[in-house]
Structure 1
């Protein structure tokens, strides 16, 4: 399963506030991701958020099409709420109020995967 990581440039010194914002995160309404035609395009398997100083990173484990995953996230009430609450803590504004803005920001914030290793990629020993 692939992972994606997106970054947020944040003001230092507000770690407690950010932890509170993500601590109250509402899960997506469904792990199933659909494309524009309503067909299955993937799943969101897990997410994690990491924070240090002025960098926050959200890691997403997913199956399927990453653009469809970003579009799905953009329409989720919990994701929209977190993005709204983060605005005062950002050093660089993020245009996430629309699906198109969210997807463009997602792509711009995406870290390049340089390595990914999982026990799921290795055949089970007999």
Structure 2
């Protein structure tokens, strides 16, 4: 399964504040991402958030269409709350207030995957 890594440029020294925000994260009710036609477009398998100094990375293991995953995440109350709450700790602004802005920011923040290994 593919894994996307989303990079956040944050201010150094705010790891504990961001850790507190992450600890209160409200997960979506479902991991199924539904397309406009009602068909399943993707599924979020797992997520993880890592932080060190001035960099935070959110890993998303998923099946299906990554753009559908981004659109789904943009509409989730927990993700919207997280994005609002981290604004004071960002070193560079993120345009995540609208679905289109979130998707654009998501796509601009995806790190290039050089290798992914799993069990066969």
For the criterion TM > 0.5, the same-fold answer is yes
1:44 aligns with 2:39: no
Shift of 1:35: 1.6
The aligned residue for residue 107 of structure 1 is: 107
Distance 1:96 1:84 in 2: 8
Distance 1:64 1:5 in 2: 16
The residue correspondences of 1:1-126 to structure 2 (distance < 5 A) are 1-119=1-119, 122=120
Shift of 1:38: 2.1
Shift of 1:37: 2.1
Q: Which of these two proteins has the greater Rg computed from alpha carbons? A: 1
Distance 1:29 1:104 in 2: 24
Gaps of 5+ in 1: none
SS in 1 for 2:97: coil
Question: Is the 8 Å Cα contact of residues 29 and 76 (structure 1) preserved in structure 2?
Answer: no
How high is the TM-score relative to the length of structure 1? 0.93
Gaps of 5+ in 2: none
Distance 1:73 1:94 in 2: 15
Runs of 4+ in 1 over 4 A off after TM superposition: none
Aligned residue pair count? 120
Shift of 1:84: 0.3
Select between 57-66 and 27-36 the one with higher mean Cα deviation: 27-36
Considering only aligned residues, what root-mean-square deviation do their CA atoms show, in Å? 0.6
